[in-house]
Structure 1
Amino acid sequence: MKWLLMLFPLLVLASCSYEETTRETGHKGKARINPYLAAERFLSEFDYEVENQSGWPELSGQVSMVMVPASSLTARGYVKELGDWTRRGGHTVVLLSHGEAYLNDWRKGGFNPFRTKDDFPEPFTEWMEELDLELEQTSRQDDDKTTAEKVEFLGQEYEVFMESALIPLDEQGEAKMVRSIAYGGGRLTLVADARPFRNRWIGDYDHAALLLAMEESSPYVGRTIFIRNVSLSFWKLLWSRAWPAMIALILLVVFWLWKNLPRFGPLDSREAVGTTRAYDHHLEALGDFHWRLDRAEGLLRPLRDSIIERAHRLALTSGHRDADVFQLMAERAGISRERAQRAMTFERSKDQGAFNRLVADLQTIHLSIP
């Protein structure tokens, strides 16, 4: 029977089959961290100086174009600085969707927090309202789309792959995947979908040509900066994806604090803080501790050892070396031998009354032996 039990799993495993599948996981190394690495190297081939920064850049006349995700414009100071630099002759390209560095281009239906106009940072929304630039919310968010379409930029058409839930509108209210306007002495360009400029798609259709056209349209001559820093807070991300669990956790913490904290607020002023206890109170507390610990056996042991030592010395000096030490104690104290033996050997008293009689006999024996 034992052999059959061992053979059965082998027979089951022998009848199994497996299937090998290949799943594309994407780039490795620098290309996995920087989604615009291919775009930067492409522009470098045309002798453009390109930088990639994970924080807010220092904008000056030596910067020609800045490509920034809309999610990074979370502070009014950033928006004001970017607007002033653009009016002086810079070219700002705002990527409305899929511009964040943390997005995985090989994960279908990847998390994209900006699907409605209300999802954008408030400073960026105020900037768009100030410029009378409107965004249309559509259902054109299709990760399975494989066909390209014509996109116009400064009078030139480019065949690109773009899909976004938010699309800029032109002066006639028509949706444009790429909307570019003159802004002071510079240029502001809104791109609905940043995927054509990311590593996975930069080589498809006319994506690279569109990027080069944006670079060449920059009034300034200088560096191009890709900002890949995403200012989406971890706590905002956690709240948007797991708010029920967060509420449950907060309630659990509040309940635990209410249950375990000793008190809320200051001590009651009516309670005496500096009460001085008398010496007998300390003795009573100490005795109660020893009684609960081992029925005060620890207190009796030193006294018993002292009595035994003196009783043996008394027997030797009186010439009764082999005498019964308990009988000697009983004769000296004037009590019976049973009481003397009990006082010297009994370990744990059942109640305080028996303990008091035991201590009384020990005290009598202690005083009777020199």
Structure 2
Amino acid sequence: MTVKRLLIGAALLLCALMVWGFFTFFERYTVERDLGWGSEAQRNLFLAAEQYLASVGLKPRQAENISVLSGLSPDATLFIANSSQVYNPQRVEELLDWVRRGGHAIVVARTAGFDFDQQHNEERDWLLEALDVSIVEGHGNYHFEHPLQPLLGENAELSPKQSPGEALREYNRKIDEGITEAEKTDAEALPEKPRNPDVEPEDLVTLPTDEGAEVQLHFDASYLLYHPGLEDGAVDKPPVFWAKVWRDDEGVPFLQFERGSGVITLMTDSGIWQSHRIGHFDHAYFLQLLAGDGNFVFLTHPHFKSLGYLAHKYALEFFLAGALSLLAWLLLRARQFGPLQPAPETARRSLLEHISACGHYYWHDDQCEQLLRGHRSELLRQLRASEADSNARHKLAKKLSAATGLSEYDIIASLWGTPASSEETFTEQMRNLQRIEAVL
């Protein structure tokens, strides 16, 4: 057995041992890390709500403006994220007419720009006026998550009661102790993060269901809705259902009105169905209860795609169009040879220069003889001497000589002589003909 074969056998044996050791001592495991929301979730705050409704058998879709009413069936549900999208009385009447035919509209009242001192919005809210609903002040601003939650990640255990300084110190302490999720290999050892935020029980709205269970909701009570029917049931068309956050509240976070065969639900907080809060308490189930059997249409503010997203999506078309434009420019430039011609003069020449240029052109084009013959023929016709003999010509020349001051020889040469062969002779004959024409 040669040394070469021994080396090959040893190498193969070493490779086999390495493979066996890899499959024996190495264990594969998976670690999930929260990388934040994707681009689609950032553009569409109600993406989680759409996916939830799709999972329970409904057909959610997005719309861009209130004109979608013309194509909605009476059994559909229309969610309007801001009542300002019902922007005039005609649109309000269209919405109410669709509700009377059996539709269900869920409308979030516009609260941005509301002035509690003057009790009005910067712009009129036509839908709230039609329903005789006003906005009243609630309990101040609610914080549903810690302000550092988006920065530190969803899995960071932060309490809304902690200040930012306390939250950062606690987060850094856990990192120093090595108990973060990225450093743990046993996922079951991690304490499960609570699904609901830490809020006081009196801040929740509890609603009974037909099955005897209860639905808990956590509304932002900074703004509330008020209708005279909350205190006086004798008013015209009062709300049929509502619930208060606190018993001593003047307003409520949502109202329901019956109009014809349909229902209108008014709310002041659309955040309970946005992606960062729909998983809290029974918000998702409450959305399912309000949804009908037909389509569920989300009418939210349009979120325009960013320039970076459009550049990434249409990069191929952009560079292809640029390459074609460059090729077309090169083909255009390739048709031009030699030095560029000087730019033409823009100043207009005088009348004398124009006449001189035309005369030179006619002379070099051998057209002066035709001009001379034509002028002669016209003068002879006027003199009635086209067919005159020698005696008649002399008599006519003598008469014209006395009138023009020209010699008889010059007159005969100009009228009947040989056409000029030089520029000077042509000019002289034409001048003589013009003098003769002037005395006729």
Superposition TM-score tier, normalisation by shorter sequence? 0.3 to 0.5
The structure with the larger Rg is 2
Q: Report the TM-score, using the length of structure 1 for normalisation.
A: 0.45
Q: Report the TM-score, using the length of structure 2 for normalisation.
A: 0.39
